[in-house]
Amino acid sequence: MYVKIRQDGALGIGRATDGSAEITLGYGEAHMIAAALEKLAQTARSYKQTYHKTTDVGGGNRIDFERLDDGTIHISGDRQTYVCTEEEVRILAEKLKHLPPVSVAPPSDYVKKVAPSDGICLVVTNGGKSIRIRLPEAAILKTSIQSSINSRFYDDPLIMGQRKIQVTRSSDLKWEMRDDTTTVRFTAYEIEALVTGLHNGILDVLMDLVKGFGSDDISDIRVKSLIQRIEQDTFVIFGEAKNAKGLTKDIVKQTKKILGINELADERANRFIDLCCKVYGKMDSKYIEPLFDLLSDAFVAK
C-alpha cells in the first residue's frame, strides 16, 4: 500500500487509486496508526480495533483494523476497505513511523527566515533595505498590506507597543514599509509576492515549532505543556480585568487550534494571523505589547 503526504498536509494511504478513494488521516496521527498496525500484524486471528480520528480529514471519523478467524486482515475507513497481507501491514507501519517532515512553501525573495533573536524571526527585504520583524508583527503587516491592495491610497501607522511600522501606498504602483530607521519600497509587481512571503514565512516558523513537538507518544504532552504556559502567562497579562477569564479562555482556545498536532499546516498560519489581528484590532491597546511579547516567544522554536 502507498503512503503519501497530500498538498493539504494530511496523509493518504491506499492501493491502486489516484487518490479519489483512499483512507485519510492527519499527519500527527501517523504514529498511532502505525502502533495499531503493528498490533494487528502480531495478532494471529479474531482481533478488531477501531481508531477514532482526531482530525476532520477524509470522509469518515474512524479507521477499523480487523483480523478474521482465517487470518485475513482488513483495514477500513473513509468508505474504503483494503485486504492486506501481514507483510503489507508491517511495511505500512514502518512507513508511517518514518515519514519525512512536512515541508512548507518557502518565503518569497522579500521575506527571509532568520535565527530567532529577541523574538525577531523574519526579515522583510528589498532593494538592499531590510526590516527585521517578529511573528505577530508579520501577521499584522500581512493583513495591512493585503488590505491596501484594493485601494488607491493607503496609510496605516501600525503601533505595536514600542514597535512602530508604517505601511503606505502612495500611488497605484508604489508601496513602502518603514520603521524608525529604514524604508523598504515595493512596486505593484512585487506586492503580491510580499503578501505571500509573509504568510509562508509565518507558516515556516510555526512548522519549525510543531516539528519540535515530534510525533512520538509524548508529543501531545509537549503541546499541552506549552498551551498551559500560554494560559498562565495570558491570565497574568489580563490581571484584574473583569473579563480576564473570558479573554484568556478565548486565546487558549485559538492557541490549541494553532498548536494541535493534527491540524493542517496552512490552517495554523491562518489561525495565528487571526489571533494576532484580534489582539491588535479588538483588544485594549495596553494588552498589545505584552501579548505580542508572549506570542513572539511561545510560537517560535528556540
Q: What is the percentage of the chain residues whose pLDDT exceeds 90?
A: 55
| Domain end point (choices 97, 128, 147) | 97
CA 248 to chain centre: 21
114 and 204 Cβ atoms separated by less than 8 Å: no
pLDDT score, position 160: 93
**The pLDDT value given to residue 60:** 81
**According to the model, what pLDDT value does residue 212 have?**
82
**Same domain membership, residue 162 and residue 143:** yes
The pLDDT of residue 150 = 86
pTM of structure:
0.68
Same domain? 19 vs 93: yes
Q: How many CA atoms lie within 13 A of 39 on its CB side?
A: 16
For residue 102, being part of any structural domain is answered with: no
Q: Mark whether 221 and 235 lie in a shared domain.
A: yes
- Please indicate, yes or no, whether residues 72 and 115 belong to a single structural domain of this protein: no
Q: Which domain holds residue 26?
A: 2-97
Residue 13 lies in a domain: yes
From 171, 179, 103, 106, select the one nearest 141 (Cα to Cα): 179
Residue 275 grid coordinates: 489571533
106 domain residue, yes or no = no
Q: Give the closest residue to 280 by CA, choosing from 294, 268, 291, 269.
A: 291
Instruction: Say yes or no: 193 and 128 in one domain.
Output: yes
State whether 195 and 210 are in the same domain. no
| DSSP secondary structure string for all residues of the chain | -EEEE-TTS-EEEESS-SSSS-EEE-GGGHHHHHHHHHHHHH--SSEEEEEE-SS--SS-SEEEEEE-TTS-EEEEETTEEEEE-HHHHHHHHHHHHTPPPPP-PPP-TTEEEEEEETTEEEEEEETTEEEEEEHHHHHHHHHHHHHHTT-SSEEEEEEETTEEEEEEE-SSSEEEEE-SS-EEEEEHHHHHHHHHHHHHHHHHHHHHHHHHH-SSTTHHHHHHHHHHHHHHHHHHHHTT-TTHHHHHHHHHHHHHHHH-TTS-HHHHHHHHHHHHHHHHHHS-GGGHHHHHHHHHHHTS--
Residue 174 forms part of a structural domain: yes
pLDDT for res 298: 95
Partners of 4 in the β-ladder? 12
pLDDT given at position 9: 73
Q: Considering only CA atoms, which of 6, 52, 59, 8 is closest in space to residue 33?
A: 52
Question: For position 210, what pLDDT does the model report?
Answer: 84
Name every residue whose Cβ is closer than 8 Å to that of residue 100 and which is 6 or more positions away in sequence: 5
Query: How many domains would you assign to the chain?
Result: 3
Residue 74, strand partner residues:
66, 83
Is 246 part of any domain? yes
Residue identified by cell 508491517 is 90
Give the three cell numbers for residue 74.
482488513
Do 77 and 156 lie in one domain? The reply is: no
The answer to whether residue 90 sits within a structural domain is yes
| Regions in the chain scoring below 50 on pLDDT | none
Residues 6+ apart with CB under 8 A from 99: 3, 5, 11, 27, 30, 215
Domain identity same for 228 and 253: yes
Q: Quick one: 153 and 226 in the same domain?
A: no
Asked whether residue 153 is domain-assigned, the answer is yes
Strands 163-169 and 174-178: antiparallel
- Same structural domain, 58 and 12: yes
Residue 200, φ and ψ in degrees, nearest 5 = -70, -30
Q: Are residues 245 and 293 in the same domain?
A: yes
Question: Is residue 211 assigned to a domain?
Answer: yes
167, 200, 233: which is the final residue of a domain?
200
